[in-house]
């Protein structure tokens, strides 16, 4: 006999733009929503029964109404509302997961004056939120993704290496990387905006200032600092993907290169990931 | 206090081309390898110690030597060899995971004659293998990805709907989808090539012939058939992502459309995923 | 004073799927259409006048009706019909250009039997056609794109190099490349299908068999052969983009490498392009 | 007889990072360089002769040395130096074209203080330069690409439509688009940096403030303003690709939508392009 170990279905990439118009000052939010639903859908799989599924049109209506009500606020609140409404409408779904990403738009600056109704796309960095709910309990994980960072100095030798003894040879002179972060709240009742700003500031500050012995070393320092600063955060996951560069061989070109020219190589790509959690 | 919940590091996208030359008849294999390593790297994270990591150059040498020895064979064998060699070289790694994908190349046909040394890229479908090992036990998961399929007829009404009673109205007339599949072996000592061919044939045959009441219904039928046919396979995971099309509105264009023209829409994208396992 | 040097507008990526149903045997064609229109639109640019533009809805109707009528045939015929209909509907357009690409789908094979209603995506190679018309004269350029080819032997030394004198050292052992081709017909009244098959066969055969002294040498040989074979073709443009690989350094890995392992490097990418035309 | 109508070869995507280190304050520039060379290479095509080509290694050396000397300055100066050095080294090349793009990095801000050695990726907007030279004369075209803009109000009715008479119905409420621009200098001896800043400011200001009757209308206004402001610019080409959105159908969702929720649709994509030049 066989059994269904797990199953899910969903819709991904419902993309929309929510424009808040307060007089002459507008504010756009570009959002992308994805759903995954779980439940007892054995009859759908085994026998092809249609019951219990949420039709695409009904789902779209839920998303549009919720975007109207919550799209102007924090994506975590929007995600909580979406989970609640989906579970209310289709009882066969026992667990809903919604993932939301928000892209940045900045106000256009014309002759030093910020415009009210014209905008330019911001950096590729995304705000992310993942809300999971079974109708009684909700889990909120906030995050950021596609944060491209560069550091051109300030690296320390790894401990346990010769360089640790004062010979600072062979240190890297460049790190270019894409960082993503996720952190879980112990409650769905926090001011998400404030936490997001605070966590991002700690991550970025650590990247800029930490006497980094390695990527591992710096990621841990970031996570440690976040957990020490915010009791309402129970765990932090950080992933860093390096964009590889190597110093240009200017010797064969007949000139020296005091670490000022690097050539991009695309592969292989180094990845480090760590989850640090509160030791309860 | 905080603790490291989980951590890993690795290298991804080591891409290579292995050419087997047997006289005038050559055979290329295009491979891409990614690694993830786990172990007790707490000192690397907390204190920036370098010990226990496998330097990039050493890893590359392992991959190239293994590709020389095993690259011409099945990717599962290649993966098993890679895990073994990595664990042998760096004892601090307690768990190694390697993922390999193989892209298809076909022999060029000139005037009806297959060429020995000239090739054309095949369909985007990939063979995949993921091997995980702790040095004593290895788990092998074979798979396929990016298999784009289309069906233009043969759909059945969902049970529990009016159409089930004989009124075959509102049935879909087109399904275009990308399928991926993964299956786990109960042993690392099987003839992977034969199993792969057999599993793929069952999946494709089911897609082509099943009186599909829904995507769920067909995925389950595929998995059920695979588990019934191969005792050495313990579970099957299938994921299908629909490439959405809708019938063109030829009414407003002034002509009818007996389901013969569909317009591509990119979003949202429906996803269904199911894992079916042997009920031990 | 300033003047409009050139201008155009258009719509790109109208994607559709045309299914031909002849009894139980169906045939799908996946098509993507792009338009560029020129005309005297100075008033639209200078004063914001709307006259002379073809509304998106009207254009869509033209495309859907033409796809219904011609989508099952050759893309060149479809393009000629599209140009004609657009120019007939909007006289302000004095020159229309339509580009069409067709992706390949192959019949699924189940237990050795080709299925009538189930298909699998073919290789990434695209058929292309560009039709330009001013209402009186039409120009048809057929082509192919994204044809990925590989050759593992058969290269000759470049003339004028030491190797030309018999020392066959330093010859390449691998070429992986993406080829695109375009050819212009002297008339819009040819059997496009036959020509396409013939031109592609000549290109592919030359790739497989030519004693290539360089990419330049082989592209010229392809174009020369096409022009010699088809009087109705007035010029051929070929572009080849190399996918770079280098032999793996197995020396440092402690084994030899008789040209059987190559490592992918992504950049830089070499490009060669040539247009060969009939010398009238 | 056949003849070579045109031919070129080149290398694309030589990507590098130039870091200027002035004490504790560093400045990175991320650059990507592509080349196309023309000359009398008939013998290479017809007979496979190697003479006259610039070997990849020699080209790389030229790029790295020039990046060392000019990479910290404007990309136009870098391009002029590259053309000059390539033509000096390989006389068979009679015309060299180099295209350079520069991606933006911004200084990281930590607690309100800009960091000297840590950076975050900027918006996707690129600076572009294309320099073409035959050794005696050089043409410089500066530009920008991938500038994503949004406007949420301020559109005017097209002239010649009912709405022009005061009934402002049916006006768009949102424009999201990607803009690229190119402008040609009458001389290679200008302060490129100042012109670039000025041209970009005029384009962006026009986008934000123009009472746009249509995309055509606004692009022309941008180009007209640039040519009126800078006598040293001989022509301007602007291309705008719309990212399509449509108002969400909140009616079926049971709420109204005063233009505050838009749904992304990916296709088709509207494109408008215009070149405006000085009427000599």
Helix (H, G, I), strand (E, B) or coil at C83: helix
Percent of chain D with pLDDT over 90: 70
Contacts of B268 in chain D (CB under 8 A): none
D85 contacts D61 by C-beta, under 8 angstroms: no
CA-to-CA dists, residue A276 to A194, B68, C248, D22, angstroms: 21, 39, 38, 38
Residue carrying structure tokens 């289709």: A90
| DSSP character at residue A250 | T
Q: Which subunits count as partners of chain A given 3+ CB pairs below 8 Å?
A: B, C, D
Run of H or E residues at A57: helix A56-70
Report residue B168's pLDDT band, with 50, 70 and 90 as the boundaries.
Answer: very low
Q: What span, in angstroms and rounded, lies between the C-alpha atoms of A143 and C11?
A: 37
Cα angle B73, B77, B78; round to 5: 80
Phi, then psi, of B264 in degrees rounded to 5: -75, 135
Among B179, B247, B128, which residue's Cα sits nearest to residue C120?
A: B179
> Which of D17, D56, D153, D251 best probes binding to A when mutated, by most A CB atoms within 10 angstroms?
D17
- A-contacting residues in B 157-196 (Cβ below 8 Å): 158-161
C185 contacts C129 by C-beta, under 8 angstroms: no
Strand bridging mode A233-242 / A175-185: antiparallel
Task: Show the tokens assigned to B169.
Answer: 């109205």
Q: Which subunits count as partners of chain C given 3+ CB pairs below 8 Å?
A: A, B, D
CA atoms C6, C9, C12, C18: torsion sign: negative
Model pLDDT, residue D251? 66
pLDDT < 50 stretches in chain A: 162-168
B181 contacts B238 by C-beta, under 8 angstroms: yes
Task: Show the tokens assigned to C229.
Answer: 């074979």
B98 contacts B85 by C-beta, under 8 angstroms: no
Q: What span, in angstroms and rounded, lies between the C-alpha atoms of C140 and C127?
A: 13
Model pLDDT, residue A144? 98
CB pairs under 8 A between A and B: 183
Model pLDDT, residue A173? 86
Is residue B201 classed exposed, middle or buried when 0-12, 13-18 and 19+ CB atoms within 10 A define those classes?
middle
Mean pLDDT of D124-143: 97
Report residue B167's pLDDT band, with 50, 70 and 90 as the boundaries.
Answer: very low
Q: What span, in angstroms and rounded, lies between the C-alpha atoms of A33 and A17?
A: 11
Q: What span, in angstroms and rounded, lies between the C-alpha atoms of C219 and C272?
A: 9
Residue B258 has pLDDT above 80, yes or no: no
Among B33, B92, B20, B94, which residue's Cα sits nearest to residue B62?
A: B33
| Phi-psi category of residue B45: left, alpha or beta, with phi > 0 → left and psi -120 to 50 → alpha | alpha
Q: What span, in angstroms and rounded, lies between the C-alpha atoms of D42 and C276?
A: 11
β-bridge mates for residue D12, sequence order: C269
Rounded to two decimals, the pTM is 0.92
Model pLDDT, residue D252? 65
Q: A210 to chain D, minimum CA–CA distance in Å?
A: 11
Report residue C168's pLDDT band, with 50, 70 and 90 as the boundaries.
Answer: very low
What does the radius of gyration of chain A's CA atoms come to, in whole angstroms? 23
Instruction: Mark yes or no for CB contact D17/A121 under 8 Å.
Output: no
Model pLDDT, residue C161? 56
Model pLDDT, residue C158? 78
- Give the 3-state secondary structure of D11-27: EECEEEEEEEEECCEEE
Model pLDDT, residue B259? 76
Model pLDDT, residue C166? 42
C138 contacts C188 by C-beta, under 8 angstroms: yes
CA torsion, points A80, A82, A88, A91, in degrees to nearest 10? Answer: -100
C17 contacts C28 by C-beta, under 8 angstroms: yes
Phi, then psi, of C269 in degrees rounded to 5: -105, 120
Instruction: Mark yes or no for CB contact D267/B267 under 8 Å.
Output: no
Mean pLDDT of B75-90: 96
Task: For chain A, say whether C256 makes contact (Cβ under 8 Å).
Answer: no
Contacts of D26 in chain A (CB under 8 A): 152-153
- B-contacting residues in C 74-103 (Cβ below 8 Å): none
pLDDT, tens digit (0-9, with 9 covering 90-100), for D53-85: 888 888 989 999 999 999 889 999 999 999 999
Cα angle D226, D229, D234; round to 5: 60
């Amino acid at each position: 006999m066989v059994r269904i170990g797990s199953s899910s279905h969903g819709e991904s990439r419902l993309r929309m733009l929510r424009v808040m118009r307060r007089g002459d000052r507008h504010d756009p939010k570009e959002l992308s929503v994805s759903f995954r639903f779980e439940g007892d859908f054995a009859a759908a799989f085994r026998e092809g029964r249609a019951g219990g599924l949420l039709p695409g049109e009904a789902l779209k209506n839920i998303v549009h109404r919720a975007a109207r009500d919550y799209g102007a606020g924090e994506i975590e609140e929007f995600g909580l509302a979406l989970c609640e409404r989906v579970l209310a409408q289709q009882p066969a779904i026992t667990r809903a997961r919604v993932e939301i990403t928000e892209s940045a738009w900045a106000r256009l600056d014309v002759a030093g004056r910020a415009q009210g109704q014209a905008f330019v796309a911001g950096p590729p960095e995304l705000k992310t939120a993942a809300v999971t709910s079974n109708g009684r309990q909700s889990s909120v994980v906030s995050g950021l993704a596609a944060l491209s960072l560069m550091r051109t100095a300030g690296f320390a030798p790894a401990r346990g290496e010769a360089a640790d003894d004062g010979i600072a040879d062979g240190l890297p002179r460049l790190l270019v990387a894409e960082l993503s972060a996720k952190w879980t709240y112990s409650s769905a009742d926090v001011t998400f905006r404030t936490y997001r700003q605070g966590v991002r500031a700690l991550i970025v500050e650590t990247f800029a200032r930490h006497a980094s012995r390695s990527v591992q070393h710096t990621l841990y320092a970031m996570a440690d600092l976040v957990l020490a600063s915010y009791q309402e955060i129970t765990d932090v996951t950080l992933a860093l993907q390096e964009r590889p560069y190597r110093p240009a061989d200017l010797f064969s070109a007949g000139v020296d290169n005091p670490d000022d020219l690097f050539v991009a190589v695309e592969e292989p790509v180094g990845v480090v990931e760590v989850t640090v959690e509160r030791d309860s």
